C-alpha cells in the first residue's frame, strides 16, 4: 500500500512538472506569435512606405506630347543649318525631308 502511495505521489509530481513545463512552453509560443504579428505589421508598414517612395521617384509613365508642325519645321531648320543645308526629321506620323535651298545650292 505504501508503494502504491509513493507511485501515485511520483506520478502526480511528474504530471505537475509536465504541466508547468507545458505552461512555460505555451508562454514562449505566445510571445513568438506576438513577435511574428508585430514583424508582419512592420513589414506591411515598410511595404507601404516603399510603394509611396517608388511612386514619388518614378516619373509618370506618360507618352511625350508630339511636336506640332511648326515645332517640327523649326527643328528641321535648326538641324539643316547645323548639317550644311539639309535635314531629315522623323515624325511619328510621317518623315519630313527639309531643305534650306540657299545652303543646299551652295553644297552642290
Tell whether 58 and 95 lie within a shared domain.
Answer: no
Tell whether 38 and 73 lie within a shared domain.
Answer: no
Of residues 96 and 82, the one with the higher pLDDT is: 82
* Domains contained in the chain, number: 2
Find the domain containing 102 and state its range: 69-107
Of residues 52 and 108, the one with the higher pLDDT is: 52
DSSP class of 58: S
Closest CA to 74 of 61, 87, 62, 83: 87
Instruction: Find the radius of gyration of the CA atoms of the chain.
Output: 41
Question: Which residues fall within 8 angstroms of residue 87, CB to CB, at 6 or more apart?
Answer: 76, 77, 79, 80, 97, 98, 99, 100
63-92 per-position pLDDT tens digit: 667 778 788 778 777 877 776 666 555 555
Last residue of some domain: 45, 62, 79?
A: 62
Q: Are 56 and 69 in contact (CB under 8 A)?
A: no
**How far is it, in rounded angstroms, from Cα 78 to Cα 83?**
9
- The C-alpha cell of 26 is what? 505555451
Of residues 51 and 87, the one with the higher pLDDT is: 51
- Can you give the pLDDT at residue 26? 96
Amino acid at each position: 500500500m505504501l508503494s502504491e502511495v509513493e507511485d501515485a505521489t511520483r506520478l502526480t509530481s511528474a504530471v505537475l512538472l509536465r504541466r508547468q513545463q507545458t505552461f512555460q512552453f505555451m508562454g514562449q509560443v505566445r510571445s513568438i506569435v506576438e513577435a511574428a504579428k508585430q514583424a508582419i505589421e512592420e513589414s506591411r508598414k515598410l511595404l507601404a512606405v516603399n510603394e509611396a517612395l517608388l511612386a514619388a521617384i518614378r516619373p509618370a509613365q506618360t507618352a511625350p506630347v508630339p511636336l506640332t508642325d511648326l515645332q517640327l519645321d523649326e527643328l528641321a531648320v535648326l538641324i539643316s543649318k547645323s548639317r550644311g543645308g539639309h535635314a531629315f526629321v522623323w515624325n511619328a506620323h510621317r518623315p519630313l525631308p527639309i531643305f534650306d535651298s540657299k545652303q543646299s545650292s551652295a553644297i552642290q
